[in-house]
Amino acid sequence: MEIKKNMNQLNQPKHDQKLLDPAKHGPLPEFELTTKWLAGGILAALVVLAGGWLIARNNTANEEVAKTDSTEKTADIVPIVQASAAVVAADGEALTVSDQAAGSEVAVANMTIGKTTWVAIRDAKTKWILGARRFESGITTGTVELLRATTAGTAYEAVMYVDNGDNVFDFHTDSLVDGIVSTFTVK
């Protein structure tokens, strides 16, 4: 009998504890906290899934546009040198640049020019011009100072531009001499 009495006491609330009826007082605090975490987790998962779907949808659309654009725009790619104002045919001009050591200037071994001409040094791959120097008629050798030094193992080109009369080098307005390209490698 004593054991049953002790068991009943365990199931009875102490005087300082209140029995909360969920129907009258709402859900218990632990249940409410668990529900909030569960709802927050579901909401976060939905946001992540929606974001992933949007990114995947945009990437697919961009790939399709890139496929169609790349086939349409390949004809529009033009090397920078072709942006010159004009190209003139060689009229006795000649230019020779030999392989040389890396540095901030390029030695022109031999040239034949009949009028004021610019000799420009450019990267053979990118066609970016590294430097240019104006030469007057009758000069046969010289050096061209560069804006940046050449790199060993890289190919470069020396080309000629006929000055448009302003004595300022501008590959857009000075005329490229067609057929005069001396390719050299820096050691």
Same domain membership, residue 49 and residue 127: no
Residue 154 has pLDDT above 90, yes or no: yes
Q: Residue 96: beta bridge partners? A: 110
Same domain membership, residue 176 and residue 107: yes
Same domain membership, residue 66 and residue 135: no
Is the residue at 2 inside a domain? Answer: no
Q: What is the mean pLDDT of the chain?
A: 77
Same domain membership, residue 156 and residue 106: yes
Is the residue at 181 inside a domain? Answer: yes
Q: Kindly state the percentage of the chain with pLDDT values over 90.
A: 41
Backbone region of residue 149 per phi and psi (left: phi > 0; alpha: psi in -120 to 50; beta: other values) = beta
- Whole-angstrom Cα Rg for the chain: 40
Is the residue at 53 inside a domain? Answer: yes
Same domain membership, residue 154 and residue 65: no
φ, ψ of residue 28 to 5 degrees: the values are -65, 150
Same domain membership, residue 175 and residue 85: yes
When pLDDT is averaged across residues 117-126 and rounded to a whole number, the result is: 95
Look up the CATH number of the domain holding residue 167: 2.60.40.10
- Domain extent, residue 42, equals 22-74
Tens-digit pLDDT profile for residues 29-80 = 565 667 777 888 888 888 888 877 778 776 655 555 445 444 444 434 334 4
Domain count across the chain = 2
When pLDDT is averaged across residues 158-164 and rounded to a whole number, the result is: 93
* pTM beyond 0.75, yes or no: no
Residue 2 has pLDDT above 70, yes or no: no
- Pick from 115, 108, 116, 114: which is nearest to 158 by CA? 108
- Quick one: pLDDT at residue 64? 52
Same domain membership, residue 92 and residue 143: yes
